[in-house]
Structure 1
Amino acid sequence: MTDAALLALYDSQLRAEAEVADADEVAKMGPVWAATFPGRGRGFVTYSHIPAGTDLDALIQAVIEHYQRDPRVDHFEWKTRGHDDLPALDETLRRHGFRFEEPETVMAGPVEAAITAATPPPAGHIVERAATADAIREAETLAGRVFGDTAEHSSRRADELVRRFEDDPGSFEMWLVRDDSGEVVCSGRVDFVAGTDFAGLWGGACDERHRGLGLYRAITAARATSASAKGYRYLQSDCTEFSRPILERAGLVPITTTTPAVRTLQGRQATCSVSWTV
């Protein structure tokens, strides 16, 4: 499949409603979807298409007022894409008080490529699927340490994933690598996006002492294998510049970019970071 065809499939299957399926609450506001995650104090705004001629000032202001009415939300992200034909969107978001974070690369590719690109983990390292809440918490503790999150943020994130694991265990899997002491040294999640051909790769983290050993590629292959067994044909991930080379070696290609635009609500202090990429 060509890169353009992958992008078209991404646009048709993974935007808007599919992105907010795990939200606690979702409001449809014109062309955008505004999701709320009370446990994280966070909102998330996305869309599949904003028609030409839309009054962006009015739309953005309506979204801001929507979240201002909810005291549980202290910040929200408006997800932008580099290939959208919306030249005035970034400027308008900035004018309404949004702060743009670092751009991320949207990667996609066939599951088979990630499976065949894998190499066995080195001696003393074991790849396994997290089968208990405690194992998920171990994985999130590692990720929090790697990403420099606060203990509160890591704990909130772990609580959220444990709730998903208990309430809807088929929606995702956490995969991890243990060293010979039993410590989790690499981890990553795969989300199974119902009704699409895609599984999403998120939250990849590897302990600095264990990098360069192929561990992240190994858990990418494990996640791809599991996704393939469930009938998913493609993988997708929003990644940082650090993870992009690893995902490219696993057969994923860049199809667009996304830059989180973050708005902190007046008088409220954001309690955790917004983005969670690989």
Structure 2
Amino acid sequence: MTRTDRQLTRPACDKALLSDWDAQVGAAGPGVRGDFHASPGALALDCTGRVATKFVAGQAGIVLVPDPASLGALPERGWEHLLATQRARAAALGLPLDWELDERFPDRLPNRLAAAGFRERRPVTVLLGSAGHAAAGRGDDLPPGIRVQADSTDYAAVRDLARTVRGGDWSWLPDALAHWVRDDRAPCTVVTARTPRGRLVAAAWVRFHPGTPFASLWGGATAPAWRGRGLYRALVRLRAALAADRGHRLLYTEAMGSSRPVLCRSGFGPVRVLVPYRYCPPGR
């Protein structure tokens, strides 16, 4: 483990590494992520040129902002037009629309979104970790016969598990996984936990970012009856090991409250908070 990795939980070091992520991976755009932002589908560019919106397969739309700081230069009339356009697009499709804010956005944006009918939702934590440390973490005893392995085959089963665990449509996921696995910009590997009879009970994936020290972890889901039995942590260890084998020593992930404790026990540290704001058109 390098000196930087040992210091990963120190705030100054974390922020420097987060800046590296923003510059080396984040600047490449949403296509190298491993979530809905990066799923195949059409983008609708806003007339300001500063944002794009994306709606795929009945999913809540997302506002994508390549350069959050640039929004600070938008005049008042520009804000009114931007937000009116976003709301109209969501209303025409009959779908919610999300913004995710962090410290890079203008300070007044939360108030602007609230005034435009966007409502704050549960925050998401961005964490960074050392691949070597996470891969070498203490192994939990898995239930007898459970197999944890790289398993880029049955993407429909991964979709069905996501629907069971998280609700929602997720019909976009099989095509997205197949696309990411073939994507040389950020190759993807799916990992699964299966019972002795082959039933999928946990799944996740990792994307590798060539030319950078980073890999990113996405999509962890465990069937309700199998939670608390070490499966998620085993998937973290396996993905960390795959990243380390490819020479990626740092891991990026975004976590809700349920997975954050496991990640922190695996050596990850929080570096940013994402606060989603959602607009729901009338009737939704």
Flag whether TM exceeds 0.5 (same fold). Answer: yes
Aligned residue among 95, 102, 105 for 2:115: 95
1: distance between equivalents of 2:109 and 2:25? 21
Q: Which residue of 2 aligns with 1:248?
A: 264
TM-score using structure 2 length: 0.78
Q: What per-residue deviation string (whole Å, max 9, x for no partner) do you get for residues 89-137 of structure 1?
A: 11111111112210111111221111111516523110122232xx222
The alignment status of 1:191 with 2:207, answered yes or no, reads yes
* Structure 1 residues 258 and 56, CA gap change in structure 2 (3 angstroms): farther
Select which of 1, 5, 10 maps to 2:16. Answer: 5
Provide TM-score, normalisation by structure 1.
Answer: 0.79
> Is residue 49 of structure 1 aligned with residue 68 of structure 2?
yes
- 1:65 aligned to 77, 85, 95, which one? 85
SS at match of 2:198: coil
Gaps of 5+ in 2: 5-12, 33-37
The secondary structure found in structure 2 opposite 1:32 is coil
1:39-188 → structure 2 map (5 Å cutoff):
39-41=57-59, 42-51=61-70, 52-55=72-75, 58-59=78-79, 61-62=81-82, 64-65=84-85, 68=88, 71=92, 74-81=95-102, 83-84=103-104, 86-119=106-139, 122=142, 123-132=144-153, 135-147=154-166, 149-150=167-168, 153-154=169-170, 156-164=171-179, 168=183, 171-188=187-204
What letter is aligned with 2:78? A
CA RMSD in angstroms, aligned pairs only? 3.0
- Number of residue-to-residue matches in the alignment: 261
| 2:8 paired residue number | none
- Equivalent residue for 2:230? 214
Give structure 1 stretches of 5+ with no counterpart: 270-278
The structure richer in strand per residue is: 1
Cα distance in 2, alignment partners of residues 224 and 48 from structure 1: 29
Match of 1:24 in 2: 41
Query: 1:209-257 CA deviation, whole Å, 9 max, x = no partner?
Result: 2223221111111112222233323211111111111111122110010
Which amino acid in structure 2 is aligned with residue 7 of structure 1?
L
Match of 1:274 in 2: none
Q: CA deviation at 1:87?
A: 2.2
Q: Using the TM superposition, name which of 100-109 and 183-192 deviates more.
A: 183-192
Percent identity over the alignment is 25
Deviation of 1:191 (Å): 2.4
Confirm or deny: 8 A CA contact 1:80 1:260 kept in the other structure.
yes
> SS of the residue aligned with 2:157?
helix
